[in-house]
Amino acid sequence: MKRDYTKEMLLRTAWLKDVLAASGAFGFVFGSSGGKDSALVGILCKAACENTLGVIMPCGASINFGDDKAHALLLAKQYGIEHAEVDLTNVKSELVQTIGVDLNDQAERNVAPRLRMTTLYAIAANQGRLVVGTGNKSENYVGYFTKWGDGDYDLNPIADLTATEVHEFLEHINAPKEIWTKAPSAGLFEGQTDEAELGFSYKELDEYLLYGKEGENIEKIKKQHKNSEHKRKEIPKFKSPASILQGSALS
């Protein structure tokens, strides 16, 4: 059943206001990537609080300076969202060189989301803001996010929405068409798209999450969910097994 997005808008902005009021912070900050998820987050945050800042953070890939930036600026203009730009290209390059070992592709690609997280939290701490997450339910289910990168935030108003629902929400509220019609991409390297990396479409994933429909890539989806479970679990902390303590001097 399709959501009532007029109602969803009211519920989510009210929730954002409540969380902000309880926190003692003065506003929101989010990573403005030019993509669907960050666009919806920015729109919701701005509707809930005038003091909302979107930070554009290019980090090496040329698309970050092209369509990504153009769409982030388009969003800021249409909704009156304050924006800032922090170019992390040289920071990433220097860090990778300083590490001094040849990083594999996955290790190097995860550097950018972690630098962006650090940037957002520095701004948040300096300006009394909350860092707002931009990940959706579909990405979370298969672990398509970076630990201590885009997986870290203070609150997330779209965590329960699938990628399909984010698309529908943006279309319903007349967000810029250039944003909600383009192929989903994290912009981590040239030509990168989410679905090419995942090996299946968000449509297939969302039909499974929303309706239990199992398509041809269902085993791949289930495997990625299982393999990424460590990203969703609480960090393991030492606990003494009861069997060891029983009958010992420590019991």
Identified catalytic residue from 4, 8, 18, 37:
37
Q: To 10 degrees, what angle do helices 5-23 and 163-172 make?
A: 100
Q: Which residues contact 61 (CB under 8 A, 6 or more apart)?
A: 187, 188, 189, 190, 192
Cα separation, 124 vs 174, in Å, equals 29
For residue 190, with 0-12 CB atoms within 10 Å meaning exposed, 13-18 middle and 19 or more buried, which class applies? exposed
Residue 237's identity, in one-letter code, is K
Rg from Cα positions in the chain: 20
Report the candidate in 120, 201, 116, 127 with the shortest Cα–Cα distance to residue 154. 120
Contacts of 182 (CB under 8 A, 6+ apart): 35, 67, 71
207 is catalytic: no
Is the separation of the CB atoms in 149 and 116 below 8 Å? yes
Contact 185, 193 (CB under 8 A): yes
Residues 8, 68, 139, 194: which is the catalytic one? 139
105 classed as catalytic? no
Q: Which positions are annotated as active-site residues?
A: 37, 139
